[in-house]
Structure 1
Amino acid sequence: MASFTKRAIIESFIRQLQNKPADKITVKDIVEDCGISRNTFYYHFKDIYEVLEEILRIREERVIRGLENGEIDEGDWREGMDRMIENQEMLYRIYRSTRGTEVRRYFSESAAVIFKHMVEVKARGIPAAEEDKELIGRFYHHAFEGCMLDWLESGMKTPIAQELERLGRLFEGDIELALKRSAQFRENSGCKDSE
């Protein structure tokens, strides 16, 4: 019963976001929509912002789970990004609220996980230095995060899916190339162990 109620509260919050900014959604709105008491709401969440944090946490977990179980192709970071930006209007409304930092954190943490995983997958069979793998992952993570924040700041005016597709074509193979260069540097310097 508890998980059903918690899910109903989350779904109500998402529905409310279709009509108003996150800052304007109240506990009263949620409890009336769900037909529950305020005490029931507070049993599951300490405040409305904890609902928001839970929504973003669930979305982040879906991306990570998709990578781990193969739902998201390990070789295609764009699938992970597409999953991250599902329901763009909801993300934008949250971003524009006083809790925009939560959306920034969501993009940052999700992108970090996706690109770290992506680099690990692409590094299979390539003896790249660990510090280089971390550096490559951070580079792509921050590049993606910057693109997403620019997109949100612009009011989502550019079609982000098309931009991500274009970036994918422009930089296709660059992660593997960087990993191979790392392996070559290690070989040339005589390092045999991972750093």
Structure 2
Amino acid sequence: MAAAELTRNAILKALETLMQKKTLDDIQIGQISELTGISRNTLYYHFSDKYEILDVLLKSQLTPVVNPLLTRAAWVRSLEAATQVLQRQPALSVHALNTHGRVNLGTVLRDIYQDFLRQQLQLSHPALSEKEQGLIVRFYTHAIVGLVQDWVSLGMKQDVGEAIDVIAQAVHENIFRAP
């Protein structure tokens, strides 16, 4: 692994460690660089700010889970895997949800699911206008992200499987299937 990649990974790990105790709003760049053992200039060479670090951290953990899979069972497994990732680090998940600013858990989930759903809708319903596709994608993205945000804010204690199954069925029936 190249030195630059090791440094980036160390920065991501430092933020992950700090977010076990507090939101990104309460973390300063100096704390990340100090925990990593690198200078602020080196940190800024790799990331423009702490929001970019959080964005990369969350996407690196959640994006591989959200694959463009066309079966309903695979879609359900994908959503379940995403919730398992969040459940493994409950403090980080709650702090990422409660961060205010241009990046938080909700914005990252929206980016991931909007891209994923838009890609699937374009494949299965190419005759829809961009406006129609946009409305459909936003509707389902809000449903998915809202479900996950509510689940995280309630402590991730309840079984999210039933809600995932209902949303996955709706997404599969309305987005994945061609008319």
- The two structures have a TM-score, normalised by structure 2, of 0.70
What is the rounded CA distance, in whole Å, between the counterparts of 2:19 and 2:159 in structure 1? 21
Amino acid at match of 1:51: I
Give ranges in structure 2 of 5+ residues lacking alignment.
Answer: none
Larger radius of gyration: 1
**Structure 1 residues 173 and 87: alpha-carbon distance in aligned structure 2, compared to 1, 3 A threshold:** closer
* Partner residue of 2:77 out of 51, 65, 79: 79
Pairing of 1:105-116 with structure 2 (within 5 A):
105-116=107-118
Aligned to 1:99: 101
Aligned to 2:127: 129
Superposed structure 1 runs of 4+ greater than 6 Å apart: none
The one-character-per-residue Cα deviations of 1:41-100 (angstroms, maximum 9, x if unpaired) are: 232233323311222343465356x33xxxxx3323223323444234223211112238
* Shift in Å, 1:153: 4.1
* Shift in Å, 1:14: 0.9
| Contact 1:136/1:175 (<8 A) preserved | no
Amino acid at match of 1:165: D
Higher relative contact order (CA 8 A, sep 6+): 2
RMSD between superposed Cα atoms in Å: 3.4
What is the rounded CA distance, in whole Å, between the counterparts of 2:19 and 2:49 in structure 1? 16
- The two structures have a TM-score, normalised by structure 1, of 0.65
Aligned to 1:70: none
* Shift in Å, 1:104: 2.0
**Structure 1 residues 58 and 138: alpha-carbon distance in aligned structure 2, compared to 1, 3 A threshold:** same
Give the secondary-structure state (helix, strand or coil) at the position aligned to 2:129: helix
| Contact 1:77/1:114 (<8 A) preserved | no
Pairing of 1:164-179 with structure 2 (within 5 A):
164-168=164-168, 171=170, 174-175=173-174, 179=178
* Shift in Å, 1:177: 9.5
Aligned to 1:183: none
Pairing of 1:1-195 with structure 2 (within 5 A):
1-59=3-61, 61-63=63-65, 66-67=67-68, 73-75=69-71, 76-85=74-83, 86-88=85-87, 89=90, 90-99=92-101, 102-120=104-122, 123=124, 129-131=127-129, 134=133, 136-168=136-168, 171=170, 174-175=173-174, 179-180=178-179
**Structure 1 residues 157 and 58: alpha-carbon distance in aligned structure 2, compared to 1, 3 A threshold:** same
What is the rounded CA distance, in whole Å, between the counterparts of 1:29 and 1:128 in structure 2? 48
* Shift in Å, 1:5: 0.3
**Structure 1 residues 32 and 116: alpha-carbon distance in aligned structure 2, compared to 1, 3 A threshold:** same
